[in-house]
Amino acid sequence: MNAATVLAAFQLPASALVNQRVPKKLLLEQGTLTPALKRQIQNGIEELTWIATLKPTTIGVPEYRDETREYLEIAVLGLALRPDARRDLLDLQIHRSIPYPVVLITSQPTCVTLSLAPKRASQAEAGATVVDGSMLAVTLAVGDSAGLPVELQQAFLDSLRLSQQPQANMHTLYQGWFERLEALLASLISGQYALAATPAQAENRRAALANHARLLREIQQLRAQAQRETQINRRVQINLTLQRLQAELAAATQQL
């Protein structure tokens, strides 16, 4: 598994390919960056490439506009990072810096990550866009590195083909890929990669993933608290709460 394998899974048409290098200075000129983030961009990024531009004239999918969103095109970018770079930080910065929704393929020596982040119009700055909600990312194995089970990775890659995504407009196209990332994250818990059959099922899965992640965080926090607790009655209360949360976690797992 490498970045080329992930890109090939999309089966993008030649008409959409750009393959142009993006200079780091364009990222460094974006807005007000902290000194730490500037160092990450300067020292962590090996290369940023604008791989393809997906728009009505290159893939035949209509653009989309509503009161808060404009999906006129989708940018496919490749980001090569050095081993000690902060991948999560730099991935998010790329999504924030590009005014279009981005499909970002990030490679490091031990892994390749695919991330997406829906966009909407900024309420604070006219003409600007911001990430709508959260960036979603999945990390795949490289070579013999430990990572997702091979069968789940392959099922995920097989579902990325452009022709298999919703074609009503650019927004539904991007949402189709976003839901496939959610399906892969759910498969890490359920052990089975399955796409949602309806928008309602996709929304339910999204809520279940968020609930599952919240419960895991609360359980981890309580376990750490229990180890520090010296009063027996307080430990009993914590253990009872843990039992309840673990039951809720089992129920949430069944919904994925």
Query: 177-205 pLDDT, tens per residue?
Result: 999 999 998 988 888 888 888 888 888 88
**Which tokens sit at 250?**
């089992």
User: Is residue 42 in some structural domain?
Assistant: yes
Residues 23 and 99 reside in one and the same domain:
yes
From 145, 170, 194, give the residue that closes a domain: 194
CA dist., res. 187 & res. 185, Å (int): 5
Confidence at residue 127, expressed as pLDDT on a 0 to 100 scale: 62
Bigger pLDDT: 86 vs 129: 86
Total of domains in the chain: 2
Residues 103 and 170 in one domain: yes
200, part of any domain: no
Residue 225's domain comprises: 208-254
Whether 108 and 155 share a structural domain: yes
Flag whether 203 is in a domain: no
Task: Quote the mean pLDDT of the chain.
Answer: 89
Report pLDDT digits (tens) over 65-102: 998 899 999 999 999 999 999 999 999 999 999 989 99
For residue 145, the model assigns a pLDDT of: 45
In this structure, are 240 and 178 located in the same domain? no
Examine the domain organization and report whether 182 and 214 are in the same domain.
no
Q: Is residue 201 part of a domain?
A: no
Whether 59 and 27 share a structural domain: yes
- Residue 199: inside a domain: no
Regarding whether 125 and 219 lie in a shared domain, the answer is: no
Q: Which long-range contacts (CB under 8 A, 24 or more apart) does 149-157 make?
A: 151/193, 152/184, 152/187, 152/188, 152/193, 153/1, 155/187, 155/193, 156/180, 156/183, 156/184, 156/187, 156/193, 157/5, 157/6, 157/9
Take residue 51 and report the two structure tokens written for it.
């791989």
Residues 62 and 166 in one domain: yes
Do 63 and 188 share a structural domain?
yes
122 plus 30 within the same structural domain: yes
Q: Are strands 74-81 and 45-54 parallel, antiparallel or unpaired?
A: antiparallel
| Residue 61 shares a structural domain with residue 182 | yes
Residues 86 and 130 in one domain: yes
Q: Indicate the residue among 163, 194, 225 that finishes a domain.
A: 194
pTM of the model as a whole: 0.86
Give a yes or no: residue 45 inside a domain: yes
